[in-house]
Amino acid sequence: MIPEIGHFALIIALSIAFVQAAVPLAGAGLGVQRWIALAVPAALAQLLFIGISYACLTWVFINHDFSVLYAVKNSNSELPLIYRISGVWGAHEGSLLLWALVLALWTGAVAVFTPNVPRVMRARVLAILGLVSCGFLLFIIITSNPFERLFPAAAQGSDLNPLLQDIGLAIHPPMLYLGYVGFSVAFAFSIAALISGQVDSAWARWSRPWTNIAWLFLTLGIALGSWWAYYELGWGGWWFWDPVENASFMPWIVGTALMHSLAITEKRGTFKAWTALLAIFAFSLSLLGTFLVRSGVLTSVHAFASDPQRGIFILGFLVVVVGGSLALYAWRAPMLKSAAKTNLLSRDGVMLLNNIFLVVACSAILLGTLYPIAIDAMGGKISVGPPYFNLMFLSLTAPLGVLIGIGMLIRWKSDSLQRLGSKLKIPAIVVLVLALLLSFALPEWIWTAYLGIAMALWIAVTVGIAVYERFHGRVLSNALRSTPAGFYGMLLGHLGIAVFIVGVTLTSLYNQEKDLRMAPGDTYEVAGYVFTFHGVRDYDIDNYVATRGGFSVSSESGDFKVDLFPEKRIYRVQTMPMTEAAIDAGLTRDLFIALGEPLDQQGAWAVRIYYKPFIRWVWLGAIIMALGGLFSASDKRYRRLARSSSVERSAAEQAA
Amino acid sequence: MTPARKKRFGLIVLMVAGVAVGVGLALKSLNQNIMFFFTPSEVISGKAPNSKLFRMGGMVVEGSVRRPGDGLTVQFGLTDNEQQVTVKFTGILPDLFREGQGIIANGRLNDSGEFVAEEVLAKHDETYMPPELADMKMGEGN
């Protein structure tokens, strides 16, 4: 019964989504108030029914209803409760339902939290979101019904993929989707503005907090995925330029560009057309990501079982969304005249450069990701290796590090080279010299390490100068009160980049990896740590058996000692082996041990030992960046404007 | 041309040149980092390059996995159900590496016609099959 209710609720949600898309849009065009007023209740009703549907699927998983095919394939009565809840989005059907739920949540949030946006505009935004929802709900109902019954019911499920039985991966998809799908709000605002033809900077201000929040979730989602790949896949890497990773990274890059260009459009009234285009791109890339992951066109270590027919549906949807919005853009964009000219030597100019670098970097990744597919269509089979991505991405983003520092200190509108030069000369020299000293303290001098350290220092120092300029010569309490949260958001976002650069540079240049054969009693030294293997023992746990290796690690000086227990697990139902690495994490280094396989009868094992300097900084940087996004989104400005009338708003705009 | 136009023209030429150089570099580095995919039959018939990195995919031949010596080197046969190539790999095999399972290996051929793998990739989902292998019409019930 419950699965039918879920299925039925989904169909009702689809009908509501149609209404939510069509009626308010028509109402806004024809000026019918009652039609316009339908947008908000429709959005909330849609959220309710998708929520019911989602709850039903969760019920199926929690209560082991193995008459539902999807639960049979992805659950098992031995599965712990938390993974029965997260198992709902463990495979295709459920993860699409989660996608739809997240979209409904964002839509509901727009319906409730935008009292400042004119009713007509809000109705259009909700209608666009309803249209997107139509596409996805149709997709689920036609090709991927999670409530499909199995007759006769199975006695037992075939268990969740063991790789997904992990807390990191349990929360990774919801985070990622909150980010991906969150860009639909900026997209909807942009499309609504294009339809109405009234693209003033108010539209940019309305979009900003939504974009920031979506971006912060995407940042966390990607970081979680990277962290999970690091400890769970047992390879010790944190980024592989895998097509599926790229699929989530591309919207992030364009989203970053969008946040900056929204800032310019709000502040200066320029780049309107560009901002609208970026909003379209960010969401289109999110859809493309969904297509790439779900269609199975890619050879990827991350790709899961998939179905080409589904791929064709998403591809069609993608073509409609991207084609439709670009056509609208081409028709309406000429109306988006900028209020002022842009001087390259200004904060607007620097941010424009940042946008160009980000978009070009994203294009390079897109090229490398789609090239194999294009070649495949012509009958060849190739893959593009990580060196391509590393080279392209690093050379295109390195100038960004310099620009970040300049961008925080340069004035809006226009600035003089002289003023800027006298301000930046000494910090630049200090950074270059200090970085040189630091780079000589490293085990080996490598010029890219020097470059990375200099870049991170440069960002940190310019953040310091920005703070100094803000607070210098003012009463602290006054200065604190008058400083907008967005300022701290900017500082944190950029500091996060600096921390991230340190992590990436040091861990990729100075990590040490050893694959070796170890018999009980053997010792091996890596980077000043002595690893001793004591043999393995078998354990019997919930839904798997584990072979646990005992290792002790001590530093050569003897003042550090830790025991590590990597595991090899065999999950009973899927009889799938899994490597569970043991990691001693630290702020300046991780020690990582993974068991390979038994090599002989005497107890020797293949063992993988890693020394990873500063790898935590990679994710720490991402967390700091996300915090920056949170600060920016919480800026009082957005809430204050929520209460003021539109007259006051336009007055505020003129003052800005 | 007026000076303003001249300036704008110069700017456009510069931009076009910049884009051209950028695209050229991108394509060059793309070409250097492309790995082609070959089946064991294609490798046997000499279609694969001799010293360049490439990918080879197929099924691990049942009963062929051996460890010569006492190190980490492992050796196995890879087949597309027509021909078979011997693969050598030193390192730790992925969890889902099994006999009779589809895998993809990155590496190059040595002088005796064996494939020396630098990396071995196995699927990480019970039902997932790399598209390259799916095309090969393998008799396995995946």
For residue A295, the model assigns a pLDDT of 65
Task: For residue B93, give the nearest of A201, A599, A446 by alpha carbon.
Answer: A599
pLDDT of residue B52: 83
What radius of gyration, in Å, describes the C-alpha atoms of chain A?
27
Nearest to A272 by CA among A350, A205, A179: A205
Chain-chain contact of B33 with A384 (C-beta, under 8 angstroms): yes
CB contact under 8 A, B37 and A383: yes
Distance CA A437, CA A613 (A): 19
Residue range A277-309, pLDDT digits in tens: 999 999 999 998 887 777 666 654 444 445 667
Question: What pLDDT does residue A542 have?
Answer: 76
pLDDT higher than threshold 70 for residue B118:
yes
Most A CBs within 10 A among B124, B133, B142, hence the mutation to make, goes to B124
Position B136 scores a pLDDT of 53
> Which residues on chain A are in Cβ contact (under 8 Å) with B55?
383
Q: Which of B15, B36, B52, B72 to mutate to test the interface with A (most CBs of A within 10 A)?
A: B72
- pLDDT digit string, tens, across residues A577-629: 888 899 999 999 999 999 988 888 888 999 999 999 999 999 999 999 999 99
Helix A243-268 / helix A201-232 crossing angle, nearest 10 deg: 150
The per-residue pLDDT for A38 is 95
Q: Tell if the CB–CB gap between B37 and A381 is shorter than 8 Å.
A: yes
What pLDDT was estimated at residue B89?
A: 93
Amino acid in the structure at residue A628:
G
In a 3-state reduction of DSSP, which class is residue A441?
coil
Of A163, A388, A517, which is closest to B29 when you measure between CB atoms? A388
How far apart are the two ends of chain A, measured CA to CA in Å? 58
pLDDT tier at B134 (50, 70, 90 boundaries)? low
Cβ pair A301:B124 closer than 8 A: yes
Q: Over pLDDT 90: what percentage of chain B?
A: 17
| Rounded-to-integer distance, Cα A191 and Cα B112, Å | 62
User: CB of B67 within 8 Å of any CB in chain A?
Assistant: yes
Report CA dihedral (A617, A621, A627, A632) to the nearest 10 degrees: 160
10 Å Cβ neighbour count for A546?
Answer: 19
Q: With beta carbons less than 8 A apart as the criterion, state whether A231 and A168 touch.
A: yes
pLDDT at position A298 is 61
The residues spanned by each domain of chain B are 1-34, 37-122
What integer pLDDT is reported at residue A472 of this predicted model?
A: 87
With a cut of 90, say whether residue B50 has pLDDT above it.
no
Backbone angles phi and psi of A333, in degrees to 5: -55, -35
From A297, A298, A384, residue closest to B30, measured CB to CB:
A384
* pTM (predicted TM-score): 0.91
CA distance A208 to A185: 10
**Cβ-defined contact of B29 to A387 (cutoff 8 Å):** yes
Q: How far apart are CA B87 and CA A213, in angstroms?
A: 49
In whole angstroms, what is the distance from residue A235 CA to residue B72 CA?
16
Instruction: Indicate the fold that domain B37-122 takes in CATH.
Output: OB fold (Dihydrolipoamide Acetyltransferase, E2P) (2.40.50)
Map residue B79 onto helix, strand or coil.
strand
Q: Mean pLDDT over residues B114-129, rounded?
A: 72
Question: Shortest Cα distance from A295 to chain B (angstroms)?
Answer: 11
Partner-chain contact A367 B26, CB within 8 Å: yes
Q: Which of A172, A363, A344 is nearest to A254 (CA)?
A: A363
- Provide the pLDDT for residue B23: 81
**Interatomic CA distance for residues A632 and A485, integer angstroms:** 6
Regions of chain A where pLDDT drops below 50: 300-305, 642-656
Burial A73-95 (b: 16+ CB within 10 A, else e): bbbbeebeeebbebbbbbbbbbb
Which DSSP state fits A238? S
pLDDT score recorded for residue B133: 54
Q: Is B18 an 8 Å CB contact of chain A?
A: no
Residue with tokens 């492309």: B34
Q: Which residue has tokens 């939510």?
A: A20
**Partner-chain residue, chosen from B126, B127, B131, that has the shortest CB–CB distance to A299:** B131
Predicted local confidence at residue B132, as pLDDT: 54
pLDDT at position A82 is: 92
The mean pLDDT value for B38-53 works out to 87
Structure tokens at A244: 């599926």
Q: Is B69 an interface residue toward A (CB < 8 Å)?
A: no
DSSP 8-state assignment for residue A60: H
Mean pLDDT, residues B111-115 taken together: 89
Confidence grade of residue B127 (pLDDT, cut at 50, 70, 90): very low
More confident residue, A626 or B33: A626
C-alpha–C-alpha distance, residues A162 and A545, integer Å: 12
